[in-house]
Amino acid sequence: MMRTVFVNPERCIGCLQCEVACAVEHSASQDLALAFREAPLPRKRVHVQAGPVPDTAYPNKCRHCDPAPCQRVCPTGAISRDASGDLVLIDAKRCIGCAMCAVVCPFDVLTFHPLAGALTPEVAVAVKCDGCEQRVGRGEVPACVESCKVDALVYGEINELMAAGRLRESGAVLAAMGSTPTVTTNGDPLAGWRSFGAARVSVNDTAQGAWLRRRREAGARADQNGNGEVSQAIDGTTREEGTS
């Protein structure tokens, strides 16, 4: 069972509390009043970025890809998976700051900063989300999730979180289909789902009917030409039909 931090970008209000909580969690003191006086400074692993439209934001973090491009290109083996296989971790003592991992990262989640415990204090090493493995090991949720007050970041089993997200999106779609209540006068609680299903069936029937018409028209043209070749425009193949 894979547990992870799931992002609901539509809920993010850009308060940056997740960034602060992440930096404090990865500080030596783990105290808000003392963390930002440390040297080197503690660094955040989650990055709140501007959304695609004004007044929206998006908390961007490592997805712990499998397979992970950053792990594959690391020349020193500083990037590896933990024992569970769920987390991609960076060993600061082995990182040389070559930034090859950042080049191949599809989500732009890696930054580079001097860290305590690095091979050389002056060298900026790769920094990214480590899943708050120590907190999770103590039975707690990651720091960013604990600090988020609007559920833009949630923690749980990935399949359950995906199912909840699909249900929420389906509800939004049904609500957008009309402003009238989905419950009919006879109290049917599935009225909205039934109408949604009927609409999908209607669309599928229409598409299938159009496909059959194209097949018949193509066959008629082939018979008129007398060459026995029917162009299969749907699947891109050509089939020879024998003549009697």
Q: Helix, strand or coil for residue 207?
A: helix
Q: Which residue has the higher pLDDT, 171 or 115?
A: 115
Nearest partner of 222 among 205, 243, 237, judged by Cα: 243
Supply the pLDDT for residue 80.
96
Question: Minimal CA–CA distance to 126: which of 172, 70, 166, 173?
Answer: 70
Could you tell me how far CA 41 lies from the centroid of its own chain? 29
Q: Predicted confidence band at 77 (pLDDT cuts at 50, 70, 90)?
A: very high
Q: Give the integer Cα–Cα distance in Å for 156 and 40.
A: 32
Cβ-proximal residues to 196 (8 Å cutoff; 6+ apart), any chain = 173, 174, 177
Lowest mean pLDDT among 91-95, 108-112, 189-193, 238-242: 238-242
Distance CA 209, CA 207 (A): 5
> Which DSSP symbol is given to 9?
G
Note the pLDDT of residue 159: 82
CA dihedral 101, 6, 14, 32 (to 10 degrees): -80
pLDDT band at 219 (very low <50, low <70, confident <90, very high): confident
Q: Which pLDDT belongs to residue 234?
A: 42
pLDDT band at 123 (very low <50, low <70, confident <90, very high): confident
Query: What does the alpha-carbon distance between residue 142 and residue 130 come to, in Å, rounded to a whole number?
Result: 10
Tokens found for residue 153: 């970041």
Reported as a single tens digit per residue, the pLDDT across 29-38 is 999 999 989 9
Q: Are 4 and 144 in contact (CB under 8 A)?
A: no
- Phi and psi at 148, nearest 5°, equal -75, 125
